[in-house]
Structure 1
């Protein structure tokens, strides 16, 4: 089971690290022309790259949760571990929804003008993904301390 944990950690590094880099690019590249060129060049590759890592992350997370008998604890708020598992599952579901929405808008409007709503949802999705990644990492640290 150790190899599954290693793959899970590798996937977490790729997923979280990649999202931090892309989020940082959005903040630190101020020139809209440069920003559009950068995102236009790496956006599609990044979207597929991150989707693969997220799928691996969720799959290995389910395998590990089954191995440690944590799936039965979802919704159990009577124990600390049950609370952390429930929080993490909720955060992962939220992250998956934010990612799907963000990718849908990104691929549908690639190299096109975005409406104000599309910009708001895309940028809001990026911010949500960034914050949720950190929150999920925080819950993972707490859960690991119980195992």
Structure 2
């Protein structure tokens, strides 16, 4: 089971690290033409790369939760049980935000986005960034409670 934990941690590093890099690019590259070139070049690769890591992250997380019987704690009134519920809720929200963001990104690749598409895409990026930090915080608390 140790190797699954290592893969889970590796995938978390790839997923969170990658999202921080892209979020940072969006914040610090102010020139719209440069943004289009950067995101148009690395966006498709990054989308596939991150989707694979997210699927591995969720799969290994479910395996670890089942192995360590964390899901049975969800109905208990314990600190650990509350953290497990919070992590599942946050991961579900992250998955939804990622699906919306990727759908818009792939559907509008190399085209002009509508105002709604821009709002959902940028809002999705911000949600992914913030949810990653929240999930990381909950994961640290789960580890501390074990």
TM category (shorter chain) comes to over 0.9
SS of 2:123's equivalent? helix
TM-score, scaled to structure 2: 0.98
* Residue 131 of structure 2 is aligned to residue 129 of structure 1: no
* Residue 83 of structure 2 is aligned to residue 63 of structure 1: no
Shift of 1:77: 5.5
Q: How does 1:7-86 map to 2 (within 5 A)?
A: 7-74=7-74, 76=75, 78-86=77-85
CA-atom RMSD in angstroms: 0.7
Structure 1's consecutive aligned runs of 4 or more residues displaced over 6 angstroms after TM superposition are none
SS of 2:90's equivalent? helix
Shift of 1:139: 0.2
TM-score, scaled to structure 1: 0.98
Q: Partners of 1:77 and 1:41 in 2: how far apart?
A: 48
* 1:106 alignment partner in structure 2: 105
Question: How many residues in Structure 1 have an aligned counterpart in Structure 2?
Answer: 146
Q: Using a 3 Å threshold, how does the CA distance of structure 1 residues 79 and 127 change in structure 2: closer, same or farther?
A: same
